Amino acid sequence: MKDNWLTKKLGGILIGVIFVISTVFLFYKEEYGWGVLLILALLLLYKLDLLTEFAVSLTDGLKTKFSSSTESKIISEFKKDQTCENKVALISYKIASHLPGTVVFNFLKDWRVWFWVANHEPKKYRAYVKIKFIADGLEKEVVDGYYGGAQAWKLDAFSGIQAPGLDIPEEVKDAARKGKRMKIQINCKVKDEDDTLVEKKFPHTYVYDPQNNSWFLEP
């Protein structure tokens, strides 16, 4: 740093000496116009150098401010729990007849579905899921267990769970046998490790397509 400063100063002095000698020589030769131009050029270079130093010092000052311990601490705290502060948890879930690496369930024969829930963040969450069965003239909520919002799905960082344990109530089976359009609605509350609410998700409703034996997300 000091070597650069010294080199810069010596270079400036050398250029100044050359300009002065040249100006004196021009005045000696009575070339007053060129001599004045050289003086003005020297002054202009001096001013540009000052502006450059000012710009550099301003930039360094800004960098110093943004690198201060207080600013770093604020940024660190923001990144530390950004999703929690914004009340957002990157948790996804769905209902399906088949998941990769699993058997295929025929809802009207097996009376079973796959449930899948996953955490896409580098932190742990608790997902409280509440399932509701919906058909024409029928709404049936699960009231206990993992599908009734009583027990939490404990999700490690970047992990998922797939389970076939959702029991289908008899009245739902009867409605499906009669050809009524079947829906399964998923309501989910996401909490952190300390069981503090992070986000309440919008309900996701899946509709059963008997012709293709599949579930699709209702818009």
Helix, coil or strand: residue 215: strand
Q: What pLDDT is recorded for position 38?
A: 61
- Say how many domains are in the chain: 2
> Distance (Å, rounded) from C-alpha 182 to C-alpha 171?
12
User: pTM for the whole thing?
Assistant: 0.61
> Distance (Å, rounded) from C-alpha 56 to C-alpha 144?
66
Q: Are 10 and 54 within one domain?
A: yes
Collect all residues with Cβ–Cβ distance below 8 Å to 40 and sequence separation of at least 6. Answer: none
Q: What pLDDT is recorded for position 21?
A: 78
CATH code at position 106: 2.60.40
Q: Are 43 and 127 within one domain?
A: no
pLDDT at 73 over 60: no
Q: What is the pLDDT of residues 208-217, one digit of tens each?
A: 999 999 999 9
Q: What pLDDT is recorded for position 188?
A: 97
Question: Domain range for residue 63?
Answer: 2-79
Q: Are 108 and 134 within one domain?
A: yes
Q: Are 50 and 93 within one domain?
A: no
Q: Which of 198 and 76 is assigned the larger pLDDT?
A: 198
Residue 42, H or E segment: helix 32-66
Q: What is the pLDDT of residues 155-213, one digit of tens each?
A: 999 999 999 999 999 999 999 999 999 999 999 999 999 999 999 999 999 999 999 99
Q: CA 68, 69, 70, 71 torsion: positive or negative? A: positive
Q: Are 103 and 130 within one domain?
A: yes
Q: Are 105 and 122 within one domain?
A: yes
Longest CA–CA span in the chain (Å) reads 115
Q: Are 50 and 146 within one domain?
A: no
**Rounded (to 5) percent helix, strand, coil in the chain:** 40, 25, 30
Report the length, in residues, of the chain: 219
pLDDT at 97 over 50: yes
Long-range contacts of 23-28, Cβ-Cβ distance < 8 Å, separation of 24 or more: none
* Joined tokens for residue 62: 């800004």
Q: Are 141 and 73 within one domain?
A: no
pLDDT at 137 over 50: yes
At residue 64 the predicted structure's pLDDT band, cuts being 50, 70 and 90, is very low
Q: Are 160 and 72 within one domain?
A: no
Q: What pLDDT is recorded for position 164?
A: 94
Q: Are 113 and 210 within one domain?
A: yes
Q: What is the pLDDT of residues 4-56, one digit of tens each?
A: 555 655 656 666 677 677 766 666 666 667 666 766 766 666 555 544 444 44
Q: Which of 53 and 130 is assigned the larger pLDDT?
A: 130
DSSP 145: G
Q: Which of 105 and 75 is assigned the larger pLDDT?
A: 105
Q: Are 74 and 126 within one domain?
A: no
pLDDT at 114 over 90: yes
Q: Are 116 and 25 within one domain?
A: no
